Amino acid sequence: MADSNGDKTLRLIAGAFKDLASAVADSQKAEVEVAPFSQACSLVSPLFGCLGVAFKFAERDYVAKVVDLSEASKSIPTLHSLIDRDVQADSVRTAGSHTRNLLRVKRGLDMVRVLFEQMLVTEGNSLRDPASKAYEQVFAPYHGWAIRKAVSAGMYLLPTKEQLLQKLNEDEASAKDQMQIYVSSSASLIQYIDKLFVSRDLGIDW
């Protein structure tokens, strides 16, 4: 891809998460820093907006929690220390805690991962099937009937694949490359975050 495309949303996302995945892989004692993590997550925020009303709940929730992690990065260096502070304060599951927000942000990243994964293997111009699968797999287990119903209705108002790529200033060929990079990079990062929770007996299903 030409350098002139360097400011494209998907390329920025792919590059940022590739760097984070490299940090995870570089060392057995790898520690992901909060600042680059929150910066990478903020690049994903516009995607939720591009998906329209079906994911409005996710956009509001995700953006607010990324802002919190960004603020936290000014005084907390790594995701390890961020969680450990809340463990020591016995505030892990408290509404608004950094750890709780990290779990919610991780879920947003996972939703985008599944969405891209499904877009790469689904023929046609509709996003409904990829988006529905992503929602069902990642968010639906934690949502009550009312939200699930609203999201289901919103699926009929999703943009087409072509419209989404236009909003992101992408063509299909370049978008596929960048989505594939994000899918593989975010998978290792999500696994890393899950291990942070599981290794401290915090669980990830709450």
> What pLDDT is attached to residue 39?
97
Taking residue 129's Cβ as centre, other Cβ atoms within 10 Å add up to: 14
Taking residue 18's Cβ as centre, other Cβ atoms within 10 Å add up to: 18
Per-residue pLDDT tens, the chain, 206 aa: give them.
Answer: 333 344 589 999 999 999 999 988 876 667 899 999 999 999 999 999 899 888 988 889 999 999 999 999 999 999 999 999 999 999 999 999 999 999 999 999 999 999 999 999 999 999 999 999 999 999 999 999 999 999 999 999 999 999 999 999 898 888 999 999 999 999 999 999 999 999 999 999 99
> What pLDDT is attached to residue 51?
92
> What pLDDT is attached to residue 3?
37
Structure pTM?
0.93
Residue type, 192: Y
Report the distance separating Cα 45 and Cα 59, nearest Å. 7
Cβ contacts of 130 within 8 Å, gap of 6 or more: 115, 118, 119, 122
Cβ contacts of 61 within 8 Å, gap of 6 or more: 104, 108
Report the distance separating Cα 24 and Cα 40, nearest Å. 14
Domains with residue ranges and CATH for the chain: 8-197 (1.10.3520.10)
Cβ contacts of 159 within 8 Å, gap of 6 or more: 50, 51, 52, 127, 167
91-128 burial by CB neighbour count: b if 16+ within 10 A, else e? ebeeeebbbbbbbbbbbbbbbbbbbbbbbeeeeeeebe
> What pLDDT is attached to residue 108?
96
- The secondary structure of 126-177 as a DSSP string is --HHHHHHHHHHHTGGG--HHHHHHHHHHGGGPPPHHHHHHHTT--HHHHHH
CA torsion, ordered 15, 111, 174, 42, to nearest 10 deg: -40
Taking residue 197's Cβ as centre, other Cβ atoms within 10 Å add up to: 19
> What pLDDT is attached to residue 178?
96
Alpha helices in 51-97, H assignment, sequence order: 56-72, 79-88
> What pLDDT is attached to residue 1?
32
Residue type, 40: A
Report the distance separating Cα 98 and Cα 70, nearest Å. 10
Rounded to the nearest 10 degrees, what angle do helices 34-50 and 56-72 cross at?
160
